[in-house]
Structures are given as C-alpha cells and as structure tokens.
C-alpha cells in the first residue's frame, strides 16, 4: 500500500553536502504516491543539478520567486501542499524559519504555508551545537513543527560528529507520521459555523452568542484529516486552504439555501451553527427612528429547520449521507438530547450544556455527549474545543466506515 497516496508535498533542498541525499528522498516520496514539487535554494544548486530533480519530481522544480509565470508562486505552492519537508535543512534555513525571514522561494514558502512542516537538519557539528541553532530549533518545535535530528557520522571534510542528515527512511517515516490521520482524504464535509443574524431593520438584528469557535475547530480538524470542507459561516473563519471553500451567510434562510446546495455533492453535514428559530416577518427597509410615537412591534415567524430539511433531502438522495447535529441544552441534557435526535432524524447528535460557565457560548472548552441514532453514547469530558472536534470527527469516520462495511 502506498502510504502517501494523494498527498501533495513541497520538498525543500538547502545548500549543504547532504543535498544529494534529497534525490533519494524525492524518489521514495514519489514511490509512496506523493505529488512532489522540489524547491531548491540557490546554494543547493552548488551541490546538485536541477535536471535530476526535474526528471524525478512531479512538477517543475522551483528555485526563484520570479522565474514562474505566476506572480505569487510561493503562496500558490504554500497553499496547495499538504506538507513541506526540507532535507537538508541547513542552519541558515532553520534560522530563517525561526525568525520568519523570507528572501528566497523556499523561505517564503515556509512562511506562507499552513501545511505541516518537517525539517531534517544537517550541518557541520560545530554549527549543530551552537546555542543560536539550538534556540532556533527549540522555537520551531515549540510552534508545533517537526525537526528530524541529524545523526552521528562522517561529515564533509573528513570530520566525524553529530550533523549528518538522518537516513532517508527516518525522514520518510516522519513525513508519513504527519499524514497518518488523513482518514478523510477524498471526502467532502459541509460544516455550518457561528450564529445566524435575523434583520430587524438595516442596522439591527436578532442574534445569539455563538462565537463560531466550536465550528471552526471542526473545520480545522477536518482539513488536517484530509477532507474537502465547505464552511457555511456567519463569521470570517480566518483560515485558508485549497481544500476549504467558505460561503458567508447571515440569516437562517441564507444558511439553509447555501447548506442544501453544498450538501448535494457532499458526504456529510455537521450542523454546528446556532440557528435562530424565528425571524422578523417583515424587516424594515429603513432604520427605525426613536421618538416616532409608537414603540416598534416585531412580529416573528418560524425559520426552517435546516438540519431536519437536509435529513429529509438526504433520505431521498442516498442512505450514505451522514448528518450530525449539535444540541445546545441548559437542563436535562442527555434526556433532551435523546428526544432531539429523534425529532431531527440525524445520524449523530452532539449535546452540550450551554448553561455552565466553562461550556457556555464563546468558551474555549466544551464537554459533550455524542449520541448516535442507534441509542449508543460517547462522553467527551471537558477539553479544548479542538479536542472535542477530534472526537466528533472520529464519530463521523466510524459511521462512514460502518456504512462502507455494510455495503
Ligand atoms: O460557537 P461557539 O461559541 O463555540 O459555541 C458552540 C455552540 C454552543 C453554538 C455549539 O456547540 C452548538 O451547540 N451548536 C448548536 C446550537 C443550536 O442551535 O442548538 P439547537 O439545540 O437549538 O439546535 C439543534 C440542531 O438543529 C443544531 O444542529 C442546529 O444547528 C440545528 N438547527 C436549529 C434550528 C434551525 N432553525 N435549524 C437548524 O438546523
């Protein structure tokens, strides 16, 4: 089995004697199914030839920010890849990445990507033990990126010590390890995010306290696990990925239309938004003026139940579409959740108690019960919303797998 099937990688090559080993890494990455774009620094070209990388890579190698027909090759490549691996990562490259400096194609791509980053360090032993290099590595690791340590062995000039590029297999394993949880590659998931706003007049609305944090945590988790995501959102997600499409909406009516349309070619819907149950029947065209004699009267009408409507649609289209709802409860949490999953007809319902200080709307953490339509239940104790998102996505994957198994 190819371990990197469908994964898009930028392979950075720094200017060090170990640059020749990047050729073997390139070949192994391609053999594992990855689409690899080599990115070489000018100094790397003193050690290796471009022709080799052109012959073995999946795309034309990048060496400069200015030789491509695109005016922004660095952001284009940075946004399009799942992972950037640099081998060898010289002291200079590590220093630039730690400080955010960008003066060539590789350093600019590293700073303009939100993909995973693996840096396989290689340099002379004195450089490797220098406090500046050590501090840069500490900074890089603290930010969540992976540094593969060099090995002990023969170095350029006949010296022996720590600094030799790790074996290709070790670097490859680090890359595969970063991609290991891409269990949703090839799936399209629609997520609703934030709270809807129902217009009263051009400046006022009826809204709720949803911050969108839980929905965005789900979007990030899905992207990290390889899914294509459509976020139907009332807030700016401030996330960018070539796997993410954002549709901005305000009201429940707009959210319903965007959600139903996005679900047509999706595998699942996660309805995390806090949708207003009522809207103003006839919002005013002009701003309501104070002192006009009468107090304004606002007549409310019921909004559509988006989740229930998508469930009804999906039953008509296919049995394989998964629907996940959230339930914001303030009392009898589990019992109300059990009644709601039946009422909405969804496959999974994530129930949270929004009356508690630590799990209310806008909080950093959440604590949920994940109910399935078959009555089974999983409890996720108080944890950051990203961890709760991982639990919700695990439940989705389990359900997708069980459907595939049944067929
Ligand atoms: O955004 P945060 O500040 O991080 O807060 C997260 C959250 C508390 C908003 C989130 O975890 C959550 O509970 N979202 C669902 C809120 C909600 O509308 O719950 P509900 O019990 O009223 O609705 C049940 C389900 O039906 C939800 O999936 C909801 O999206 C959906 N619904 C509700 C009304 C409606 N007209 N159409 C719907 O589709």
Domains of the chain by range and CATH? Answer: 8-179 (3.40.50.1950), 188-406 (3.40.50.10300)
In angstroms, the Cα distances linking 162 to 12, 126, 139 are 21, 9, 20
Distance 48 CA to ligand 1 centre (A): 56
Q: For ligand 1, is residue 260 a contact (CB within 6 Å)?
A: no
The string of DSSP codes covering 105-151 is HHHHHHHH--SEEEEEE---HHHHT-HHHHHHHHHHHHTT-EEEPPE
Q: What is the pLDDT of residue 70?
A: 63
- Helix or strand (DSSP H, E) at 384: strand 377-384
Q: What is the pLDDT of residue 158?
A: 80
The string of DSSP codes covering 159-181 is -EEEEEPPPHHHHHHHHHHHHTT
Distance of alpha carbon 223 from alpha carbon 221, whole angstroms? 5
Q: What is the pLDDT of residue 240?
A: 72
Distance of alpha carbon 105 from alpha carbon 378, whole angstroms? 47
Indicate the pTM of the whole model.
0.70
Task: Please identify every residue annotated as catalytic.
Answer: 208
Residue 272 alpha carbon, nearest atom of ligand 1: 14
Q: For ligand 1, is residue 252 a contact (CB within 6 Å)?
A: yes
Distance of alpha carbon 181 from alpha carbon 401, whole angstroms? 14
Mutate to test the pocket of ligand 1, among 259, 263, 274, 332 (most ligand atoms within 8 A of CB): 274
Nearest CA to ligand 1 atom 27: 326
Q: What is the pLDDT of residue 26?
A: 98
Q: For ligand 1, is residue 328 a contact (CB within 6 Å)?
A: yes
Strand 228-233 and strand 188-193: the pairing is parallel
Q: For ligand 1, is residue 326 a contact (CB within 6 Å)?
A: yes
Mutate to test the pocket of ligand 1, among 237, 306, 326, 353 (most ligand atoms within 8 A of CB): 326
- How many separate helices (H) and strands (E) can be counted in the chain? 13, 19
Distance of alpha carbon 130 from alpha carbon 134, whole angstroms? 6
Query: pLDDT in tens for each of the 407 residues of the chain?
Result: 678 888 999 999 999 999 999 999 999 999 999 999 999 999 999 999 999 999 999 999 999 887 766 656 557 788 889 999 999 999 999 999 999 999 999 999 999 998 999 999 999 989 999 999 999 999 999 888 999 999 998 877 788 888 999 999 999 989 988 887 778 988 999 999 999 999 999 999 999 999 999 999 999 899 888 899 999 999 999 887 778 899 999 999 999 999 999 999 999 999 999 999 999 999 999 998 888 777 888 999 999 999 999 999 998 777 799 999 999 999 999 999 999 999 999 999 999 999 999 999 999 999 999 999 999 999 999 999 999 999 999 999 999 988 877 77
Q: For ligand 1, is residue 354 a contact (CB within 6 Å)?
A: yes
Distance of alpha carbon 338 from alpha carbon 98, whole angstroms? 50
Distance 115 CA to ligand 1 centre (A): 30
Distance of alpha carbon 215 from alpha carbon 326, whole angstroms? 10
Q: What is the pLDDT of residue 72?
A: 60
Q: For ligand 1, is residue 395 a contact (CB within 6 Å)?
A: no
């Amino acid at each position: 089995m190819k371990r990197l099937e469908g994964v898009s990688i930028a392979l950075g090559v720094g200017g060090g004697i170990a640059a020749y080993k990047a050729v073997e890494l390139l070949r192994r990455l391609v053999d594992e199914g990855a689409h690899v774009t080599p990115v070489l620094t000018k100094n790397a070209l003193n050690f290796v030839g471009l022709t080799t990388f052109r012959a073995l890579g999946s795309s034309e190698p990048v060496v400069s920010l200015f030789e491509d027909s695109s005016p922004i090759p660095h952001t284009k490549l940075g946004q399009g890849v799942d992972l950037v691996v640099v081998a060898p990562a010289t002291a200079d490259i590590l220093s630039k990445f730690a400080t955010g400096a960008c003066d060539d194609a590789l350093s600019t791509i590293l700073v303009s990507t939100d993909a995973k980053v693996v840096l396989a360090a290689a340099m002379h032993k004195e450089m490797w033990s220098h406090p500046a290099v050590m501090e840069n590595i500490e900074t890089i690791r603290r930010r969540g990126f992976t540094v593969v340590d060099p090995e002990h062995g023969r170095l350029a000039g006949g010296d022996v010590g720590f600094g030799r590029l790790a074996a290709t297999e070790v670097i490859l394993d680090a890359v595969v390890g970063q991609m290991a949880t891409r269990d949703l590659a090839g799936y399209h998931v629609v997520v609703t995010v934030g709270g809807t706003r129902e217009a009263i007049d051009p400046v006022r609305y009826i809204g709720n306290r949803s911050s969108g944090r839980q929905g965005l945590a789900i979007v990030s988790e899905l992207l990290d696990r390889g899914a294509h995501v459509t976020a139907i959102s009332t807030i700016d997600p401030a996330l960018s990925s070539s796997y993410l499409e954002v549709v901005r909406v305000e009201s429940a009516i707009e959210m319903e239309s965007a959600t139903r349309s996005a679900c047509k070619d999706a595998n699942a819907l996660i309805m995390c938004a806090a949708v207003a149950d009522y809207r103003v029947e006839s919002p005013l065209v002009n701003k309501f003026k104070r002192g006009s004699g009468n107090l304004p009267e606002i007549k409310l009408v019921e909004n559509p139940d988006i989740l229930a409507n998508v469930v009804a649609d999906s039953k008509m289209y296919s049995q394989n579409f998964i629907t996940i709802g959230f339930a914001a409860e303030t009392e009898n949490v589990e019992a109300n959740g059990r009644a709601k999953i039946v009422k909405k007809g969804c496959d999974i319902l994530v129930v949270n108690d929004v009356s508690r200080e630590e799990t209310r709307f806008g909080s950093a953490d959440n604590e949920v019960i994940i109910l399935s339509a078959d009555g089974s239940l999983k409890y996720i104790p108080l944890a950051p919303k990203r961890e709760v998102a991982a639990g919700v996505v695990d439940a989705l994957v389990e359900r997708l797998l069980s459907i595939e198994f049944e067929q």
